[in-house]
Amino acid sequence: MTLLPYQSLFDIDRFFEGEELEYGITRPSMDMYEKGAAIVAEMHVPGIDADKIEVSVKDGILHVSGTSQKQKEEKDKGYWRKEIRRGSFERMIRLPAPVQENKIEATCENGILTITMPKAKHVAQKTVKVIARNRKPSKVSTKK
């Protein structure tokens, strides 16, 4: 018998890295990287039709959600394992840099959703001059 005293730690990692959130909503795996002048996110969405996926960016947060077709339970199937997750999924993540929200493109191929977000042009830093507003100093008594 192999004893793994810290097996529960693997379960904790799986919970936080997670595939399943509350109420059966799953959180698919994602890679995000910089490629040239764009931020690219790739998400694992096997078996989900592209027209069932919604992608949006608002206030620097990428929001991806969708629904996979739930399989009808067949009473004559006696499952030994049932691990394929179906139903809703959602993923929200803060982007590492501002993007041009009106130029985002998303494609889905072989179960991988690829979201390409061109980075926004950097706004030149503006220096603000501080204006001193002099007020009359109050008199401080030094007498004892």
Domain of 54, CATH number, reads 2.60.40.790
Split into its structural domains, the chain has a count of 1
In a domain, 1, yes or no: no
Model confidence at 41: pLDDT above 70: yes
Q: How confident is the model at residue 114 (pLDDT cuts 50, 70, 90)?
A: very high
In a domain, 141, yes or no: no
pTM: 0.65
Position with higher pLDDT, 82 vs 113: 113
In a domain, 3, yes or no: no
- Percent of the chain past pLDDT 70, that is, above it, reads 72
In a domain, 65, yes or no: yes
In a domain, 128, yes or no: no
Query: What is the strand order of the sheet 53-58 is part of?
Result: 53-58, 61-67, 88-94
**Four-residue CA torsion sign, 94, 99, 101, 105:** negative
Q: How confident is the model at residue 18 (pLDDT cuts 50, 70, 90)?
A: very low
Q: How confident is the model at residue 7 (pLDDT cuts 50, 70, 90)?
A: very low
Q: Give me the domain span that covers residue 108.
A: 16-72+83-118
Q: What is the mean pLDDT of residues 25-30?
A: 83
Question: Residue 21 burial (CB < 10 Å; 0-12/13-18/19+)?
Answer: middle
